[in-house]
Every structure is written in structure tokens, then in C-alpha cells.
Copies of this chain bind each other. A is one copy, B any other.
Amino acid sequence: MGRPLRMRRQATLASLAAELGVSRTTVSNAYNRPDQLSPELRRRVLETARRLGYPGPDPVARSLRTRKAGAVGLLLTENLSYAFRDPAAIGVLEGLALACEDAGVGLHLVPASPGRDDVAAVHRAGVDGFVVYSVPDDDPHLAAVLARPVPTVIIDQPQIEGIDRVGPDDAAAITKLAEHLVGLGHRQVGVLCMRLGRDRNDDFVSLERQRAAHFHVQRNRLEALATAFTKAGVDWATVPVVERFDHTVDEGAFGARQLLSTYPQVTAVICTSDILALGALAEAERRGLRVPADLTVTGFDGIAEAERIGLTTVHQPVLEKGRAAGKLLLSAADHINPQVITLPTDLRLGTTSAPPRTMEEHWFGP
């Protein structure tokens, strides 16, 4: 630490009181309720505190007594590195941090390694509530959070009966995107989605796995896509869906490669995130496919880079999502009847979507 002084943890509120010949209440008041004692006495207390090296009331003891930790916990099981590399996740984090700052409470990042199911960290966190961000419904950390007697707000997923939730209407949002593609004439589409469960499956996804996905956001989006394309006369069972465990641009590219190698007739690759879409675009380029002339690619989230390159995507207000979750948790809201806050989304048509090649030829010649 540096100054040797700070090491010897000695002076307590009680010892200070003794030294001064006053009661502990008075010393406590000197710190917490300056108006409860004469300025003169307060000055003496603080002065003596300095002399004795008393650092002020111990925060943990105070928390025990007041039953208030002054912090909210944040649980995000996803490997931290991905969280800090995904602009959408960073936006959520920022919004949440802002809400906490506004309220003057700390934001406690719970160490939840995805590998080892070390739930102890959840038990150890001295917080007044939790925000859970985008975890699978069978996450043991989540179970531990819900077992604690504090309010909890979930962002995005999972959707749990009776628990506050903040997120977009994924189904409605992606339905608009699907209708856009259907309108353009796409019937042979492929999907590239994020992980559907805690088990790694970097491969095509069966209908059964789609239906039973533990990540509700992905499940809802796939379901909505299925509904929309079925309505357009497409047999969803024939639509290839590729899953990627790691959420990176590179994995997006690999996923697209897998998809396009096996199904070269696909005219549009629908990605459930912009990050994956960025990878799909890279793969398209690698294969010499022009976008959107030869291939349509779409994303989801509306991150800055997507906007910059003109990706057709669904934009969602990530910062607001984090902020709304923080506010909801910290609000006096009786968390008795659970709230669900639905955020607006916005279909952003970019330059990566166009009619499929065959249609184009049909209209304009080869």
C-alpha cells in the first residue's frame, strides 16, 4: 500500500469515542449527520480521527447495520473478453454504469467464469440487487442469483416468469427484416446464429435444437424467422441454420463458409448479430461474391461499424437497454408485480441487401 500507517488497522469508531470521552453515537453522527452535533465537537472528532489515523466508518460494518450495500451486481456469464469486444455489450455496460452513477451506487462485476461453475462468487457479492445480462436459462450462476433475497432484472435473456426484464421485441424486430427479404424475393436463405446452448456446436442446427435453445433471444429470432418464411411459402425444415459458439468476426466468417459451401444456392445470409454478419461479409469477399449483387447479408444490433459499412440490420438502443435495466432495478418499483420493458427497434436498410441474383437477371437480364 505504501504508507506504513495505513497498514495497522486499529482505530475504530469505538476507540475514537473512548479517546474523546464521548459516545459512539456522537462519533457516528460526526460522519453521517453533521447537523446532529455542535460544529465544535464535530471538528474535534474529525481532528482526533486524523490524529489517530481513523479512516472513517468501515463500509462493511455499516452495510451490515444498514442492510444496504450501495452496489448492484452484474452477472454476465459470457467470457469477459467477448463482452468487452462486442460493441453491443459495451453499450449495455455503459448504460448500466451510467444509471448506477446517477444513483451513486457501485457496479459490481461478478466473476463468473463460463467454464467452472463457481457459483460462490454470486453468494459472496455484497450487493443490493442484480442485473443479469444475456445468459442461458440453465445457467447455474443465474440460479444462484435468483436464490438470493434481492431484486433482479434480466436484460435480453432468459425470459423468466415473474422476473423483471428489459429487452427488445426480438421476434417483431426480426420479422420486419424477414419481410424485407421476402419482399426482395429471397426464398433460399441461410441463417448464421450465435450459440444456442452451453454446449459447443459449431455446426448446422437441427429443428429440435432450434426449438430447445437455452438462449431465448436466439430461439425467439429463429422462431420468428421460421414463421415469416413459412408464411412466404418456404419450408423452414429446408433452411440451413449454422450455429457459432464464439461470438467473433472470424467465427462469423467460418460459419458463413460452412453455410455457403454446403448450400451455394443460398441468396441471403441472415445473421443474428452484426459481428457475425461482418464475418459473413468477409467470407463473401473471400469467395468473390459481390454484396449485394451476388449475396445479401444482414445483421442484428446496429453497432457503429455496421452502420459505417452500410449493413442492413436491425438497430436496437443498447445503451438505453443498460440504463433502463439499472433504473428499473434501482427504482422504488415494487418488484412484486414484475415489469417487462420493451425497447424499440429499427430496421436499417443498408447496401448489403438486394433482390437475389436470379430475380435481378429476370428483371434486368444477365
- Contact in complex: A98, B81 (CB < 8 Å): yes
* Chain A 310-362 residues near chain B, CB threshold 8 A: 335-336, 338
A123 at interface, CB cutoff 8 A: yes
> How far is B94's CA from A81's CA once the two chains are assembled, in angstroms?
7
- Give, as a whole number of angstroms, the nearest-CB distance from A240 to chain B: 32
A185 at interface, CB cutoff 8 A: no
> How far is B56's CA from A105's CA once the two chains are assembled, in angstroms?
24
> How far is B326's CA from A80's CA once the two chains are assembled, in angstroms?
15
With a CB–CB cut-off of 8 A, which chain B residues contact A126?
59-60, 63, 69-71, 126
> How far is B160's CA from A100's CA once the two chains are assembled, in angstroms?
29
Total interface residues in chain A, CB < 8 Å: 65
CB-CB under 8 A for A107 and B108, given A93-B84, A126-B60, A149-B7: yes
Of the listed stretches A113-121, A193-201, A212-220, A274-282, chain B binds A113-121
With a CB–CB cut-off of 8 A, which chain B residues contact A73?
106
Indicate with 1 or 0, residue by residue over A38-75, a CB within 8 angstroms of chain B CB atoms: 00000000000000000111111111100001110100
* Smallest CB gap from A53: residue in B: B149
- Contact in complex: A149, B106 (CB < 8 Å): no
- Contact in complex: B111, A109 (CB < 8 Å): no
> How far is B168's CA from A62's CA once the two chains are assembled, in angstroms?
39
Indicate with 1 or 0, residue by residue over A151-167, a CB within 8 angstroms of chain B CB atoms: 11000000010111000
> How far is B182's CA from A342's CA once the two chains are assembled, in angstroms?
57
- Contact in complex: B164, A2 (CB < 8 Å): yes
- Give, as a whole number of angstroms, the nearest-CB distance from A52 to chain B: 12
- Give, as a whole number of angstroms, the nearest-CB distance from A91 to chain B: 8
- Give, as a whole number of angstroms, the nearest-CB distance from A150 to chain B: 7
Can you list 22 residue pairs at the A/B interface with Cβ under 8 Å? Answer: A1-B151, A1-B163, A6-B146, A6-B148, A60-B60, A60-B69, A61-B64, A69-B126, A70-B121, A70-B124, A80-B94, A80-B98, A84-B90, A84-B93, A85-B94, A101-B113, A104-B118, A104-B120, A105-B111, A105-B121, A106-B108, A108-B109
